[in-house]
Every structure is written in C-alpha cells, then in structure tokens.
Amino acid sequence: MEVKEYDIVIIGSGMGGLLCADILSREGFRVCVLEKNKQIGGCLQTFVRDKTIFDSGVHYIGGLGPGQNLFQIFKYLGIIDKLKLQKLEEDCFDRIMIGDEQKDYVFAQGYENFISHLVKDFPGEEKAIRKYCDVIRDICSRFPLYNLRDGGNFSEKTSVIELAVKPFIESLTNNQLLREVLVGNSMLYVLDGEKTPFYVHAMILNSYIESSWKCVDGGSIIARLMAKNIRAHNGVIITKARVDEILVEKGMATSVRLENGQIIHAKRIISNIHPAITLKLAKTDIIRHSYRQRLESMENGIGGFQVNIVFKKNSFPYNKHNYYYKPLGHAWDMPHHTEDNWPLGYALFFSASSKSETFADSLTILACMRFSEVERWAGSFNTVADENERGEDYDAFKKRKAEILIDLAEKKFPGLRNHILNYYTSTPLTYRDYIGSSDGSMYGIVKDAANPMKTFISSRTKVPNLFLTGQNLNLHGVLGTAMSGLVTCASVLESEEIIKKIRNA
C-alpha cells in the first residue's frame, strides 16, 4: 500500500481548506489537500445545465473594494486581479420586497448612499436608520480579525455578542415595515429573531454595504486560482480522495486513511469538514466524550431548496442586483415555516455571465427547507451533478415546491414562465451528499445570542496537531470562512504575523 508524508494534510477543499493550503504552502509547508469530490471548492463549485453555469453557494460577495477586508486577503493571495468581478449597481445591490406591496426597498452601496435611499422611503426615520448603521459599524470595529488587525482582546466583543437581532431592531423604531426591511436580506444568514446575534447580521451586511460583487461565470474561479497557487508552492491536491479516518497515536494525529485504504501521513492535519464529523473520524480517548457530545449537540442551521432556471436565449433582462422577498409579518421566523405557509421568504439571484449584460442566462431562487422535509429519501445518495435518481415521488415533491416558488416569483416578474427554457432543483439532500454535511445545512452551526460562547468553536482541538477550519468556526460565507481560515493558519503558525502580512499586502 502506498505511503506518503506531508507537513500538512487538509481534509476538504472548500473555501477554508483551500485558503489554509494556499497560505501555509507559501509559508514553506508541504501541503496536501484531500477532496472527496471530483471537483474542488465545496460550496465554491459551479455546475452546468444546458450549457449554462450555476453557482452552488456563491451568489455574491462583499468586501472586495480596494482596501476592504476580503480584497486584502485576495490581494495577498495574488488572485484579486485575476477574478472576473462585476460590481452590482451602486444604488441598489439588493431589492427588498415585503408582502404584497408593489414597492421595493433598496439597499445601496456606501453608508451615506444606503442611508439616503432608505430615508427617502422612510422620511421620519432618519435617526433610527443612522443609529442602525452606526451600531453595525461599531460592532464590526470590535472584531480585530474582521478588520485585519492582529492582537486585540476578547473583551472588545464581549459586550456585543449577546445582542440578538430582533430586540435590537425593535429598540430602534416602532415602524413595523422599516423593521422588516432592515432585515430584508436575512436569507444570507437565515434570521431566527431572538437567537441570531446582531454581530452576524452586522458583519455580513456591512461587507455588502461596503461593496457588492458577483463573479462573472461563477465563483469556482476562486477555488481554481487558489489551487493554482497551491500547486505553484509545491502543494498537492488529490480529488476523489475521501478521508474515512484520522489516525491518532500517542496523543498526536499521524495520518489519514482514505476510502480506498491508502494511508497518508502528516505532521499536522487540518479538517475543513464539519467539526462533529471530524471528531467521528478521529477515534481517540484524548478527545473527551463531553467535548464530542457538545459538538454533536450543536444545532445546524436549516438547509435550502433551490430552483435553478435556464432562460431562453436573449429573452429575460439581466438585473445587476438581487431580490429578497418576505411575506409581511414574518421577518423573524424564516426557518419556522409549515407545510402550509412555505416559504417564509426567498432570495432571487441572477447569474453574471460573460455572454451578455443585457439578458440573463439564468436565475436561482433559494428558499429554506428543513432536512426533515426530505428525510424520507435520506437512504438515497446523489450529487449535484446527478440529481435524478431518488425516485419519482422525490421528483414530484421537488416539482411541487419549485412551482410554488416560480408562482411567487411571477408576482414580481409577470410572465417569467414564458422565458424559462428549463429548470433544475436541489434540496438539503443534494448538499448533504456533495458537501458531506450530515443534514444539508446551508451555513453550518447556528450562532446563538443567548449562549454565544457555546457556539464559538476553536480552530484547535485536544489533539495538538489536529486543527479545524471552515464556515462552522466563526462565520459562514466566503468572507466569514476566509476569516476562519486565517484563525486556523495563525494557530498552525503559532503567530498572528500572517494577518500583518495580509494587511500590508
């Protein structure tokens, strides 16, 4: 049996895994990334239907303006100039639709621009809107890494991590409609009113207010560019390499065993997969039962149902902004739909294509869906590339859900159906199977303002040379996961010097 040894083995090639591999390989470590799928990237992957590219988990990205946080990280990696980015409309990156109102509300880029558009629609509420923005900026300033500051201390953020979204928004204004508009794009983190900490809302919204971008022809370019860097720094990426076990001897991780039995040795191991699954792969007494139980008992956020629509050629106009819809009165309970009132909101994303800026190639409509809604097909296995083998009843279920979403979208875009060439759907089962999470959760472990420390996960484990990374650590999203990657790299390097290097890139 073939035996290899690396300085660092990374399990999973999602945003977090690739970022760690890119940074650590340029720091001189011999790195090997092991990815179970044929394609690298995890949620950065794209897929093609009817010659049309779809994103699986990157519809738009914030913080990519010169000097902004993700820009600096991508600049350090040397990829910022190689991304084909399209800036969303300066005066509208998101359109918020509430209930049956014909009017949309606009989120604009740049704080003053953001404020002035909202004040136009809510003229008596300038004070509340300004305070909302001030608090967002204040909270973001308290997270050193978010601002690419090294050092910092935990007390900076302790006073704000227990603030939940709902009570804060309610404290700002009595205007019910404004409250609902301010959390209008909460599909980005699936708002659960009393639970979701305001810092999650703040960090995500701030990055898009600073600047909002789409990757033209899909976000998989981010993964491909990092992969190129890794190989240029002597790193190795092996696809179709599923890790089935992390071997621990005398308290240290020594190697991983692949599905095909191959053993790969490493001085350090970083896991980019869900922390609870990582611990299941590492069978050792060093990781206490109570810690395993704590991770296993953490709640994962809800999954998603997506309708990916291919338009007829040159048929439907392209929009350089996203749409978010919520029925009136359901700002706070998005993940708690029933069979009868589903969906309690949707997000609608046009894909940016190099073929045309006038007409849209495709559109994705995303709504929440619990794993329990598809659990009866959980015994089947498929990937996003081949979603048609779970049986006719599954297909009928998906069709019924898709038609509900398309009907809803038609209220905003009358005649939408006439432009559709084909559509394809995915459920939490799709994501379970191709990302490898246990329940197809979109954004991983749920953060809870009532118990914030319980939902912070360290990049270190009880096994000194086994580290964690990925969206479950700090924050999800391309930006959040990049930040988690930096935390992991700083733990491996036992220094925060890397943050300084990125800041000064």
Which residue in 22, 29, 46, 57 binds ligand FAD (CB under 6 A)? 57
CA distance 462 to 276: 14
CA distance 259 to 355: 41
Alpha-carbon dihedral of residues 108, 109, 113, 119, nearest 10 degrees?
30
The binding track of 435-474 with respect to ligand FAD, each residue x by CB under 6 A or -, is xx-----x---------------------------xx---
The closest alpha carbon to 52, from 359, 347, 320, belongs to 359
Structure tokens at 407: 């009907």
Does 11 sit near ligand FAD (CB under 6 A)?
yes
Does 33 sit near ligand FAD (CB under 6 A)?
no
CA distance 95 to 231: 41
User: What single string gives the DSSP state of each residue in 144-170?
Assistant: GGGGT-SS--THHHHTTTT-BHHHHHH
Closest contact distance (angstroms) between CB of 428 and ligand FAD is 9
Does 61 sit near ligand FAD (CB under 6 A)?
yes
Q: What are phi and psi of 283, to 5 degrees?
A: -90, 95
In contact, 499 and 162? CB cutoff 8 Å: no
Which residue in 29, 47, 54, 60 binds ligand FAD (CB under 6 A)? 60
Question: Measured between alpha carbons, how far is residue 261 from residues 59, 236, 245, 249, 285 in Å?
Answer: 37, 19, 10, 18, 23
Closest contact distance (angstroms) between CB of 41 and ligand FAD is 6
CA distance 198 to 177: 19
Alpha helices in 142-288 (DSSP H): 155-158, 165-172, 176-182, 198-210, 220-232, 275-281
Q: Which helix (H) or strand (E) holds 116?
A: helix 111-121
The binding track of 344-373 with respect to ligand FAD, each residue x by CB under 6 A or -, is ----------------------x-------
Per DSSP, what are the bridge partners of residue 369? 303
Which residue in 304, 335, 428, 452 binds ligand FAD (CB under 6 A)? 304
User: What single string gives the DSSP state of each residue in 68-87?
Assistant: SHHHHHHHHTT-GGGS-EEE
DSSP assignment, residue 317? Answer: B
Does 63 sit near ligand FAD (CB under 6 A)?
no
Which residue in 8, 10, 32, 34 binds ligand FAD (CB under 6 A)? 34
Task: Please report, as residue ranges, which positions from 272 to 301 form the binding site for ligand FAD (by CB under 6 A).
Answer: 272-273
In contact, 218 and 53? CB cutoff 8 Å: yes
Part in contact with ligand FAD (CB under 6 A); list of ranges 54-62, 162-170, 367-375, 497-505:
54-62
Q: Which of 15/408 has CB closer to ligand FAD?
A: 15
Which residue in 6, 9, 10, 14 binds ligand FAD (CB under 6 A)? 14
DSSP assignment, residue 7? Answer: E
Closest contact distance (angstroms) between CB of 437 and ligand FAD is 7
Closest contact distance (angstroms) between CB of 140 and ligand FAD is 16
The binding track of 394-433 with respect to ligand FAD, each residue x by CB under 6 A or -, is -------------------------------------x--
Does 477 sit near ligand FAD (CB under 6 A)?
yes
Part in contact with ligand FAD (CB under 6 A); list of ranges 2-10, 11-19, 131-139, 389-397:
11-19
Closest contact distance (angstroms) between CB of 37 and ligand FAD is 5
DSSP assignment, residue 334? Answer: G
In contact, 266 and 235? CB cutoff 8 Å: no
Closest contact distance (angstroms) between CB of 163 and ligand FAD is 23
Part in contact with ligand FAD (CB under 6 A); list of ranges 15-23, 229-237, 327-335, 386-394:
15-23
Does 26 sit near ligand FAD (CB under 6 A)?
no
**Binding positions for ligand FAD, rule: CB under 6 A:** 11-17, 34-37, 42-44, 57-61, 242-243, 272-273, 304, 366, 431, 435-436, 442, 470-471, 476-478, 481
